[in-house]
Amino acid sequence: MPATLKPTTDRRKLLTTGLAAGLLTASGLSLTSRPQVGGRLRAALPGASMADTWDARKGFGLFMAAAGQGAVFDGLTEVAADGSLRGELATSWQASYDAKTWVFDLRTGVKFHDGTPFDVASVVESIRLHMDAGPKGAGWHLVSNIDTIKANSPSQVQFTLHSGYADFPYLLSDRHLIMYPAGKIAEAMRDGIGTGLYRVAKFEAGQKFAGWRVSDHYKDGSAGWFDQIELLAANDATQRMALLRAGRVDAAAQIDPIQAEIAADNPDLRLSNVPGNQHLALDASNLPIDAQLALKSAVNRDDVLLTGLHGYGHVGHDSPIGPFNQHYRSQSINEFDPDKASALLNSAGLQGLGINIKALGNVPTTLGLALWPSLLAAGFSDSPEYHLRAQMWSGRATEDWMLGANGNLGGNSAEFEVLRAQARSEFDPNIRAEHYANLQSQIQASGPVVIPAFANFLQAISKRIAEPTSVGNLWPMDNARFAERWWLS
């Protein structure tokens, strides 16, 4: 361990200590009228697959995020509903002054659902699982900077990083970095054995999850208000709304913007419209550079927002760093200018360049349709010559986390990566702010990813279900933690 460690707090000075009052405040709950435990919550969620397992090394969608980290498992840290970072299975942490060494104190007295004690060995083995998986693992981008991990004591773990990372505790809140019992990881991944508020009652991959509340949990009095939870897999937005309107579920996630008014007008439902940093990204990295630059002026951002998202969001500026990030720097918008785009294509001999919008499943159909009129007016054509991948990205709690999640943003620029490394290792907020302002400017001016709009999270919820005053906006459904944060009204 280095001779000198510095106490660290959340970047926004909102770090809570794990005391009940702090947990209630960060969750948006009232200290005077806390909810009562009882009842059942049923939700229809997308992102399920018949290949789903409790193995966090694999990629998964909202369904498994809500069943896993949102119910059965815990991580070391947690991003609260108000955006602050707080301890979950860790209670505090310190860093060396170069941000390369981090020491975490662990919560004691916690047991896994099978009675196995949670300890430092559980942390070491759970993190090494992802390190050993390498680049093929879904959690690799979160652990690739870890050089070593070791136990300092039965309740303290030390991470040594290859390079300084001032926001490292935030990464440990990711849904992939859940904790398994030491020596029993294979069984835990088979049966779903965690330390979360809900134990597995039934799990059918790609179809259904049911859980029962754990008694005498360390979060008692601050989270986990339902006796039972039931998650139904429904990958089609129309199906999710049908289940809700029929009374078969109490909440439906990721409502299509075109269906939002249906929920808003139903007297038994309410529309949860949560602004955040979720954004539409058009990845043009396989297009010629001149076509990438032309694309920035070829997209009518107002059309994307008003027609594609029905107004549920705000105009984007080609950077994924949004207003809910600490170091967001307001940028001028790349205005729709079809003449400018056409001139760029002409000068490069690319007039009429054929593109095919390859939209991933989480992109509303209306978004793809809203893009084409302006693209055609700017000189692009609809043909499979080049693929333009459209994808909805949830934002991340920190700037570097977002830049690392979508690796194409910097266009493989060495200069960009050097500046990014400087920014993530810097504790001084003023210096970091300048670094991230420069990075945002570079992404906007020359990055190969066009981000025309930020999209709000839309959820439809029965009025028999209550939410806290603060709802998480990093992921859908209260950061996928609705099962532990919501209650019966």
SS3 20: helix
- Which of 285, 277, 313, 278 has its CA nearest to residue 443? 285
Dist CA 231 CA 69 (whole Å): 14
Residue type, 247: G
- Distance set, CA 408 to CA 142, 326, 387, 416 (Å): 16, 22, 15, 11
- Distance set, CA 366 to CA 80, 296, 312 (Å): 32, 20, 13
Identify the pLDDT of residue 412: 85
Identify the pLDDT of residue 21: 34
SS3 99: coil
- Give 245's DSSP letter: H
- Give 304's DSSP letter: I
Dist CA 182 CA 129 (whole Å): 11
Identify the pLDDT of residue 251: 98
Dihedral sign computed on CA atoms, order 251, 254, 256, 257? positive
Domains of the chain, earliest start first: 6-232+457-488 (3.40.190.10), 279-455 (3.10.105.10)
* Unique residue bearing structure tokens 């977002």: 402
Contact 5, 93 (CB under 8 A): no
pTM exceeds 0.75:
yes
Residue type, 156: Q
Query: Residues, the chain, total?
Result: 489
Dist CA 63 CA 52 (whole Å): 9
Q: What percent of the residues of the chain are helix, what percent strand, and what percent coil, each to the nearest 5?
A: 30, 25, 45
Residue 329, Cβ density class (10 Å: 0-12 exposed, 13-18 middle, ≥19 buried)? middle
Name the token pair of 13: 């000075």
- Which of 426, 147, 140, 392 has its CA nearest to residue 277? 392
* Unique residue bearing structure tokens 């579920």: 249
pLDDT averaged over consecutive 10-residue blocks of the chain (489 residues)? 48 32 44 78 97 96 97 97 95 97 98 98 98 96 97 98 97 98 98 98 98 96 97 95 96 93 92 96 95 96 95 95 92 92 96 88 80 95 92 94 93 92 96 96 94 96 95 96 97
Identify the pLDDT of residue 359: 76
427-435 CB contacts, 8 Å cutoff, 24+ apart: 427/97, 427/99, 427/166, 429/11, 432/166, 432/327, 433/327, 433/329
Q: Which helix (H) or strand (E) holds 303?
A: helix 301-303
- Write out 402-469 in H/E/C secondary structure: HHHHCCCCCCCCHHHHHHHHHHHCCCCHHHHHHHHHHHHHHHHHHCCEEEEEEECEEEEEECCEECCC
Q: Report DSSP letters for 154-204, one per residue.
A: TTEEEEEESS--TTHHHHTTSTT-----TT-HHHHHHHT--SSSEEEEEEE
